[in-house]
Structure 1
Amino acid sequence: MKSPRSRRVLVSLAAIGLLAAVPACSGGSGEERSADGKIKVTVNGQPPQTQAFERMIFDQDVAEFEAAHPDIDLEPHEGFMEVESFSAKLAGGQLEDVYYVYFTDPAQIIARRQAADITEAVKELPHVDKLQPQLLDVFRDGSGKLYGLPTANYSMGLVYSRPLFAKAGLDPDNPPRTWAEVRAAADKIAALGNGVVGYADFSKGNQGGWHLTAWLNSLGGQIARKEGDGWKADFNNDLGRTALDHLKQMRWTDDSMGSKQLLQDADVQRMMGSGQLGMYLAAPDNIPTLVKQFNGKYSDYGLAPVPEGKGTLIGGEGYMVNPKASPEKIKAGLTWIQWKYLNPDRFDSFTKRYADANQPVGLPAVPNPDIWTGALRDQQEAVKAKYANVPAQNYATYLNASTTIKGHLEPPSAQQVYATLDTVMQAVLTDPAADPGALLSAAEAKVNATLAQVR
């Protein structure tokens, strides 16, 4: 699923079966060396020309890297994880030596042997052991072998309107930490009238199921659990009913969610950008979207940890290596990944380029993704504070809690699961007589049928 959807859409490859037919031996990425004898490495992740700033940064980095590594010839390709072309590139031997993936896909890629084992090769790279362990685990198999490296991540939190908090007599510096506090705050904000909504949630376009997953995670639950070699639905229980009962109470008892429902991300972002919404679940990258696309102001928004804090839905991106790449190409490819994405020596210069271009600095997102631990995390935070041009203090409670909350990946066949759970969210938010228990039971059967196809 795509983050708030200022992310690129994360359509699970496994969900639409693109990987199943790809032979494990596929791969291969052209010549070993360029005409001048350099080791040739193809990489994707180059932004399109329509994203002028991001493309400029990427191309500048390629040139700087090649100057610093004269024995490596990088061949950048536009694109990320495009479901329409991924399987064909794998089968036809056109997959890049270093390729971009979403967190939803490494498990299936590893199971089908479509990525190189880099366990030994990364031992030569600096700082890998300082990455957050739960992010590295996304790229490990059951025996602990490593097949990729994380370069950015997101986790869900609570985006809220500081002006509306102040108007409602709430403390913008002390945001809700439980769902009961969210409900109470939403009620006070909605009482301001004039069409103001206290809390909004998604229920359409598979985003309702995505957010119900985030609710379950926050309460310590999950949408699906592993059983042996398969998966089973794990939401038709007390935690699932608690989440839906809470939504139902805010919607119908308190009337703090407004009458307009069947919302998607852009609907909710428009409400927040226009100053008509108090709170919604989202990741940090929603805040630039609110400003750039919906006329918001950075000073107006706060970001708190996900309520309850017993778990949070995480996602992100990283890079894996073609299984047919030679040891020399693997080494060169990992050198690129580390130099560009995982390089504390470039914290300052990389961040300064964003600040100089008036790109937002101060969020736990690009150019300072929250992927580090310990001293390196502190080092990056100091650089972020040095160049911050948005009010980083507004996001402090989120950032301080981010490494203490258990992260949950999206479930297998996420899009199909979310489509089923959309109907549950829609019913609760549009029908005052909706029965959460009955809705969850009906959805459980459908989700189990979907999960039975996961291999």
Structure 2
Amino acid sequence: MNRRLLGKSLALALVAGTTMLGAACAGDKEPETPSGPVSITVNGMPPATDAVNRANFEADVKAFEAKYPNIKITAKEGFMDPQTFATKLAGGQLEDVFYVYLTDPAALIAKRQVQDISAQLADFPSIKDVKPDLMKVFTGSDGKIFGVPVANYSLGLVYNRTLFTKAGLDPTSPPKTWEEVREAAKKITALGNGTVGYGDYSKNNTGGWHFTAEMYSVGGDVAVKDGDTWKAAFNNDKGKQVLQQLKDMRWTDKTMGQRQLLEWADLLQMMASGKLGMYIGSADNFPVIVNQYKAKYEDFGLGGIPGGQGTLGGGDGYMFKAGLSPEKIKAGLTWLSFKGGALDPDRIAADNEKAAAKGQPVGLPQPNIWTGASLAKWEEATKKHANIPSENFGPFLATATTIPLKLEPPLAQQIYAVLDTAMQKVLTDENADIAKLLSDAEKQVNQILSTVK
């Protein structure tokens, strides 16, 4: 599973016509527009087959050009296709303002393939309220800024509040440590009737993805940079801790169920059926659980990731093509600040009202990129227009500013494929040798990382 694509779909699913940059906060003047005509190309336009969102996007372009007659927008379909991105970048075919996943900026900045926008951002003061962890992704080692985030996700503990209550657990206080997860899983499994206390993935790269998340949660890493090269960093006590916990829950406690080799949709289906107590997931799981699998928001909650020393996250943003003039950068930022949705703190309330009227969920804890006064506006607008029990996600929000966000390792999908094997073995073989599994995986991952440039 390509988790980065889910990060994009999260932003698109929760907010129609996603905003691209926060406009000036209340009391701040609007940015000055270029004095002469400027034309820029942007991507992110929905395909013609998505008639409603395509029409909305085109209407936004028309309204923008009416408000800013000196700026001409040429919009291109699509966001980011990993299969063609590098070729388009090398050939100078990328749009002036282009979409990226949060895993991409570091390499683009290091290779100087994107433009410094620091000076122009001074005219967009709401940028100061964007979460520092997210801004850091778009910031070079010299402190210069090369892009802006638009949406984010991070992993926490998805849990069934109804099962918690039946098992005598407090649904307002989910486990905060892996030891507490283990004990809670025992109580939930004891309900019987095929109930599973805790579930985890091990197939189609999802096992490696979750192993990475669980390593981060206990303060570990999967890969670290050593000078100009990368090396595996999981064949250690923390890697053993992660796998031993799962092995103990699977074979000693018998709280993970007989069915294994699970992938993304499996745990969502199990949660929706009322037969699963807990798993690691993110806010974008809930609309799928409710809409596709016909469950109710009231039955579920989201807590911070157990361990709390780090959480795997991702999301998306926009960057600017290298060599772009200050006038084009200013025009691009003006466009991004105009494009309505969740990233303009002064428009959140109106957008939430529209989303609720269309039956879209309002009250989920992400995407939310804000801190400070802008966060207060987000919270107020969420509370006012929530159409789902947003208090169920309070435990997650309570940890949002204290648990560091960590991104995927380089060549993540290849690494996840290797780590799937370790996850599969401990969940299907009672006699799995954890030390050997980690050692074997380390050798393979180091071979993969040796190709990182």
TM normalised by structure 1 equals 0.89
Q: Map of 1:46-57 to 2, 5 A cutoff?
A: 46-49=45-48, 51=50, 54-55=53-54, 57=56
State the partner residue of 1:29. none
Structure-2 residue corresponding to 1:289: 288
Looking at structure 2, the residues matched to 400 and 130 of structure 1 have their Cα atoms a distance apart, in angstroms, of 18
CA–CA separation in structure 1 for the residues paired with 2:188 and 2:240: 25
Shift of 1:55: 4.3
Q: 1:223 to 1:116 in 2, by over 3 A?
A: same
- CA distance in structure 2 between the partners assigned to 1:432 and 1:50 by the alignment: 50
The offset of 1:115, in angstroms, is 1.1
User: Residue 359 of structure 2 aligns to a residue in which SS?
Assistant: coil
Q: Which of 393, 396, 400 is residue 394 of structure 2 equivalent to?
A: 396
Rounded Cα–Cα distance in structure 2 between residues aligned with 1:159 and 1:247: 17
Evaluate the alpha carbon distance shift between residue 156 and residue 230 of structure 1 in structure 2; reply closer, same or farther with a 3 A threshold: same
Contact kept, 8 Å, 1:6 with 1:289, in 2: the verdict is no
Please list the CA deviations of residues 95-121 of structure 1 after superposition, one character each: whole Å capped at 9, or x if unmatched. Answer: 111111001111111222221111222
CA drift of 1:129 comes to 1.3
1:450 equivalent in structure 2: 448
Aligned to 2:266: 267
Say which is worse superposed, 140-149 or 61-70, in terms of deviation.
61-70
Q: What is the rounded CA distance, in whole Å, between the counterparts of 2:52 and 2:379 in structure 1? A: 23
SS in 1 for 2:41: strand
- SS of the counterpart of 1:351? helix
State the alpha-carbon separation in 2 of the partners of residues 349 and 319 from structure 1.
23
Rounded to whole Å, the distance in 2 between the matches of 1:97 and 1:129 is 24
1:404-432 alpha-carbon deviations (Å, 9 max, x no partner): 11111111111111111111101111100
Q: Distance in 1 between matches of 2:3 and 2:283?
A: 9
Question: 1:132 matched to which residue of 2?
Answer: 131
Counterpart residue number, 2:171: 172
Per the TM alignment, residue 330 of structure 1 is displaced from its structure 2 partner at its CA by 1.1
Over 3 Å counting, the alpha-carbon distance change for 1:352 and 1:75 in structure 2 is: farther
Residue pair 1:203, 1:422 contacting (<8 A) in 2 also: yes
1:363 alignment counterpart: 364
The 5 Å alignment of 1:88-107 reads 88-107=87-106
Answer yes or no: is the 8 Å Cα contact 1:4–1:282 preserved in 2: no
CA distance in 2, matches of 1:276, 1:306: 21
SS where residue 334 of structure 1 aligns? helix
* Alignment check: 8 A CA contact 2:7 2:316 kept: no
Q: Which amino acid aligns with 2:71?
A: I
Q: CA deviation at 1:53?
A: 5.6
What is the rounded CA distance, in whole Å, between the counterparts of 1:91 and 1:309 in structure 2? 40
- Which of 371, 374, 378 in structure 1 is aligned with 2:372? 374
Matched residues in 2 for 1:232 and 1:315: separation?
21
Q: Distance in 2 between matches of 1:74 and 1:330?
A: 13
Which amino acid letter does the alignment assign opposite residue 248 of structure 1? Answer: K
* Contact persistence 2:249–2:256 (CA under 8 A): yes
1:311-390 mapped onto 2 (5 Å cutoff): 311-340=310-339, 342-365=343-366, 369-390=367-388
Q: How does 1:13-412 map to 2 (within 5 A)?
A: 38-49=37-48, 51=50, 54-55=53-54, 57-340=56-339, 342-365=343-366, 369-412=367-410
Sort the Cα spacing of 1:123 and 1:167 in 2 relative to 1 into closer, same or farther, 3 A: same
Structure 1 gap ranges (5+): 11-36
Q: SS in structure 1 opposite 2:109?
A: helix
Does structure 2 conserve the Cα–Cα contact (< 8 Å) formed by 1:291 and 1:297? Answer: yes
Once residues 124 and 77 of structure 2 are traced to their aligned partners in structure 1, the CA distance between those partners, rounded to angstroms, is: 26
Verify the 8 A CA contact 2:202 2:260 in the aligned structure 1: yes
Q: Deviations over 1:340-363 (max 9, x none)?
A: 363222112222211111100000
In 2, distance between residues paired with 1:243 and 1:441? 15
* CA deviation string 1:204-261 (max 9, x = no partner): 1111111001001110111111111111111111111111110001111111111111
**Residues 64 and 362 of structure 1: CA distance in aligned 2, closer, same or farther (over 3 Å):** farther
- CA distance, structure 1, for counterparts of residue 138 and residue 117 of structure 2: 10
Q: Percent identity of the aligned residues?
A: 54
Q: Which secondary structure state, in structure 2, belongs to the residue aligned with residue 236 of structure 1? A: coil
Distance 1:54 1:126 in 2: 29
Alpha-carbon contact 2:343-2:369 (below 8 Å) kept: no
State the aligned residue count: 426
Secondary structure, in 3 states, of the residue corresponding to 1:99?
strand
* CA–CA separation in structure 2 for the residues paired with 1:7 and 1:213: 17
Deviation for aligned residue 1:91: 3.4
Amino acid aligned to 1:127: S
CA contact (8 A) 2:105 2:137 kept: yes
Secondary structure at the aligned position of 1:310 is classed as coil
Q: Distance in 1 between matches of 2:306 and 2:445?
A: 26
1:58 to partner: Cα distance: 3.6
Equivalent AA in structure 2 for residue 357 of structure 1: K
Q: In the alignment, residue 178 of structure 1 is paired with which amino acid?
A: T
Give, as a single letter, the amino acid of the residue that structure 2 aligns with 1:352: E
Q: Distance in 2 between matches of 1:363 and 1:67?
A: 34
Q: 1:96 & 1:88 partners in 2: Cα distance?
A: 13
Higher mean C-alpha deviation, range 253-262 or range 83-92: 83-92
Change (3 A) 1:68 1:352: farther
Q: State how far apart, in whole Å, the 1-side matches of 2:126 and 2:9 are.
A: 30
- Separation (CA, whole Å) in 2 of partners of 1:250 and 1:227: 35
Aligned-partner SS, 1:231: strand
Aligned residues of 2:4 and 2:315 also touching (Cα < 8 A): no
